[in-house]
Amino acid sequence: MNKWVYSFGEGKAEGRADMKNLLGGKGANLAEMSNLGLPVPPGFTITTEVCTYFYDNGKSYPGELDGQVREALETIERIVGMRFGDPENPLLVSVRSGARASMPGMMDTVLNLGLNDVTVQGLARRSGDPRFAYDSYRRFIQMFGNVVLGVDHHHFEEVLEQVKRDRGFDLDTELKAADWQVVITGYKEVVEKELGKPFPQEPAEQLWGAIGAVFGSWMNQRAITYRRLHDIPAAWGTAVNVQAMVFGNMGDDCATGVAFTRNPSTGENRFYGEYLINAQGEDVVAGIRTPQHLTIAGKEENGSTLPAMEESMPEVYQQLAAVRERLETHYRDMQDIEFTVQQGKLYMLQTRTGKRTAAAALKIAVDMAQEGLIDQKTGVLRVEPKSLDQLLHPTLDPKARKQIIAKGLPASPGAASGKVVFSADEAERLSELGEAVILCRIETSPEDIHGMHAARGILTTRGGMTSHAAVVARGMGRACVAGAGELRIDYKTGVMSVRDVQIRVGDTVTIDGSTGEVMLGEVPTIQPELTGDFATLMGWADTYRRMKVRTNAETPLDSRTARKFGAEGIGLCRTEHMFFDAERIVAVREMILADSEGGRRAALAKIAPMQRNDFVELFKIMKGLPVTIRLLDPPLHEFLPNSEEEMREVAEGAGTDLAKVQHRAVQLHEANPMLGHRGCRLGISYPEIYEMQARSIFEAAVEVFKETGETVIPEIMIPLVGTKKELDILKAVIDRVGAEVMQSSGRKIDYLVGTMIELPRAALQAAKIAETAQFFSFGTNDLTQTTFGISRDDAGAFLPDYQRAGILEHDPFVTLDTEGVGELVSIAAERGRKTRADIKLGICGEHGGDPSSIYFCEKVGLDYVSCSPYRVPIARLAAAQAAILGEQAASEA
Ligand code: ADP
Ligand code: MG
Ligand code: MG
């Protein structure tokens, strides 16, 4: 017999934390907390395998399920001493979804299930609190009506508003038992009117309806979108948790709340959370009432006047603080918890690893390692490399003038400027057009996720630090200011206003998610300081890292930035970028348009001194670290003059006439320039170009030695090689020039000559090419292009279709296609090493800064990765993680 149901409660459980695949995250952790002896209301989990079965079998359940559910329900009844559907002493349950990976807000929970017109009276009598009983019943009808029966929220809201208006009430808390009974009658009418049948009274029917709704919601649009954005396979399925209700809405000794065991924004080791007295479920995050802080410190920090739990319920607070301790020492990570207090007694309803900002992730990893909770390697593995991006990007310039118009909560750090939009769709539309946007909403909901993703920043006027906007923004690394209550947003007119300021759609604002400030216009930003926890963790990463990390840079600014971020040399200096400079472009054009070697040499002579200075500057910045310089690569027509004006300029410079220049420009036109006269093919046709570049490099090396005493070992790289012969010819040119410079300067220069591997033929011929090449650098942008036969510049038109159709999981220009392109890389590395055991191997495509591609590079055993300056820290951390994971995998095998 298959086991489809796992019970928990009374200090034990059939499941465990490591059974997330089967029980979902929520179910596995409820089981784990029960096993730890924490106060968890009893319940059971229907496994994710039932979800899979459900979708594989035309939305039906396995035959044994009904009996197993009944048995598990009886176990709950025995523990709590109540019966499901009992008119006098009814057991009520919650029905909750829970997938393997936490999907916040993706699937809705139904509370108070088991109430009907009869049991509600029993509940009223037993509790001696009719108001509580009817409040619970109306919540149940509303949740069940919405989640299970699909009746829109606003129908229920209208009924409640009407009753409040009739009675002259502002707050829900003013309604008495009799008022709630009127609301309930209204709610039931709504359901009957919308569905043509009455609200289900039979508890078993309610239970199966809710279970079916949870499984059904796995395939709703919100869930599908979330899974797409977070790479969660649909095949995983969700579990369903059924759990005895505890009540936070039974009076003033009751409460419900959420907390993080450490501050999720800063990582500070302080208990951090919010609660509401006499409330239920998600009231805390719904933004209807203003939540109160757990701790006095939290209350003071946020300028709240409402009492902290530490003051209002000191005993419960102590229980909760003890649970916090227990959970952290057990899970050894920051936890995000949900709890309810019923008549002075604490109940734990959820724990999971808490989402956090990058800054918090760093601080928590470093602190926990120093507290001895985890070791340094674990600390290094705890920080998501890509998330470092949040820390490397600019913050507001403290000297800049700011026109602050409102202040909200600092919900997710970072500063962002952009055009104001009021809908998620608009945010997505404008950002696709390349605009930076700030999504401004009264509050956000799961339907807004695509817009939050597209926006640079998110601003809400309602909700706390644990509101949907705040949680999701922190997860995505978007700047977010939440609950900026002074601002009023009117969706209809498209205006956001505060006092006399009116902001319309399309106006620019800046938000600072670290301070909560909202500013008019665009505020200048500055670079972050990379000290403190960042430096500590990166230091640890560097000790575990095997691969070196270099940068792709050609300008002094980029090179300096990369050095600051810890680059250990330049892996790709693209010399053509140096040619676009306004001062030189005319001479470059003369060179290209010259129709004789003499003409080319004359133009090259003008460029040479400038080119030499470029290298002098780079070598000085890199202070003896390796610098790989790629000789001219792109198709020449990229430099061609476009206007007649520009052509005339070139003609004058070269001393020829306009017609000749125009004729030559036409000659240079190519049908397929990416596969045309470019890369080493230029060097073969016009060796004088590479000659000039090589000479500049050697002379610069000599000059830098003379000036600074630093020995530079240049690595000269020939692009787009497909045959050994190409490399032989060009290496001979370089060696000849090298010998000449050494002769004339009287100084010996060590240098390497190598090639890019960016054509499949080169990868396959690597054994032969390595006879000449002293290093390989995998140019995986071109290698991807040439392996797939997909033009990078045109891929945008159809790659999304390929991803949607499931042909490609990722954009292969972003994440290395390890299957195809990766195989060529492995083959080339292996064959190259066979010929030349000490051949240096690196990667310089975009993939050099992509963590999952970096893991692959570690597996193949490359010596270094090279990436753009801002990705250097990401690559350092990813390379360390790759090394640690590789070592762990090896020791397990
Ligand atoms: P989510 O996955 O969206 O966090 P949950 O299943 O955790 O949804 O439910 C949301 C909230 O409902 C919980 O935080 C808790 O306040 C309330 N809740 C769930 N189950 C119970 C229960 N058995 N008793 C009381 N409250 C509950
Ligand atoms: Mg929720
Ligand atoms: Mg929850």
pLDDT digits (tens, 9 = 90+) for 256-278: 999 999 999 899 999 999 999 99
> What is the DSSP track for 47-114?
-HHHHHHHHHTTS---TTHHHHHHHHHHHHHHHHT-EET-SSSEE-EEEEEEESS--TTTS--EEEET
* Torsion 238-243-248-253 (CA) sign: negative
Q: Which CATH number fits domain 5-244: 3.40.190.10, 3.20.20.80, 3.40.1360.10, 3.30.1490.20?
A: 3.30.1490.20
How crowded is residue 872: how many other Cβ atoms within 10 Å of its Cβ? 30
**Proportion of the chain above pLDDT 70, given as a percent:** 99
* CA angle 521–522–525, rounded 5-degree value: 150
Pocket residue to mutate for ligand 1, from 8, 241, 282, 336, most atoms within 8 A of Cβ: 282
Atom of ligand 1 nearest to the CA of 338: 14
At 659, phi and psi to the nearest 5?
-60, -40
Q: How would residue 106 be classed by pLDDT, with cut points 50, 70 and 90?
A: low
Please tell me the distance between residue 109's alpha carbon and the centre of ligand 2 in angstroms. Answer: 8
Q: How would residue 593 be classed by pLDDT, with cut points 50, 70 and 90?
A: confident
CB 203 within 8 A of CB 116: yes
815-832: average pLDDT: 97
pLDDT at 684 over 90: yes
Q: Are strands 517-520 and 508-512 parallel, antiparallel or unpaired?
A: antiparallel
pLDDT for 322 equals 97
Annotated catalytic residue 330: no
787-810: average pLDDT: 87
Describe the chain by its helix, strand, coil percentages, rounded to 5: 50, 15, 30
User: Is the CB–ligand 1 distance for residue 340 below 6 Å?
Assistant: yes
Three-state secondary structure readout of 746-782: CCCCCCEEEEEECCHHHHHCHHHHHHHCCEEEECHHH
Domain residue spans in the chain?
Answer: 5-244, 255-356, 393-526, 547-753
What is the rounded radius of gyration, in angstroms, for the C-alpha atoms of the chain?
A: 33
Three-class SS state of 45:
strand
The CATH class, in words, for 255-356 is alpha beta
Please tell me the distance between residue 280's alpha carbon and the centre of ligand 2 in angstroms. Answer: 12
User: Is the CB–ligand 1 distance for residue 349 below 6 Å?
Assistant: yes
The one catalytic residue in 254, 680, 844, 867 is 844
pLDDT at 287 over 70: no
User: Is the CB–ligand 1 distance for residue 281 below 6 Å?
Assistant: yes
Question: What CA–CA distances, in Å, run from 13 to 41, 45, 261, 293, 562?
Answer: 12, 10, 24, 32, 52
353-361: average pLDDT: 92
Helices (H) and strands (E) in the chain, counts: 35, 34
Annotated catalytic residue 857: no
Residue with tokens 């090298």: 738
Q: For ligand 1, atom 17, which residue shows the shortest CA distance?
A: 281
pLDDT for 253 equals 95
Q: Are strands 395-396 and 525-526 parallel, antiparallel or unpaired?
A: antiparallel
**Proportion of the chain above pLDDT 90, given as a percent:** 74
Q: For ligand 1, atom 12, which residue shows the shortest CA distance?
A: 281
- Please give the residue that has the higher pLDDT: either 648 or 28: 28
* CA angle 810–814–820, rounded 5-degree value: 65
Question: For the segment 462-492, what is each residue's pLDDT rounded down to a tens digit?
Answer: 888 778 898 788 767 689 999 999 999 999 9
pLDDT at 390 over 60: yes
Three-class SS state of 709:
coil
pLDDT for 666 equals 87
- Pick the most confident of 192-201, 298-307, 641-650, 866-875: 192-201
Please name the fold of domain 393-526: Glucose Oxidase; domain 1 (3.50.30)
pLDDT for 797 equals 83
Tokens representing 509?
Answer: 């604002």
How crowded is residue 39: how many other Cβ atoms within 10 Å of its Cβ? 16
CATH superfamily of 547-753: Phosphoenolpyruvate-binding domains (3.20.20.60)
pLDDT at 105 over 60: no
pLDDT for 446 equals 78
Question: For the segment 831-856, what is each residue's pLDDT rounded down to a tens digit?
Answer: 999 999 999 999 998 899 999 999 99
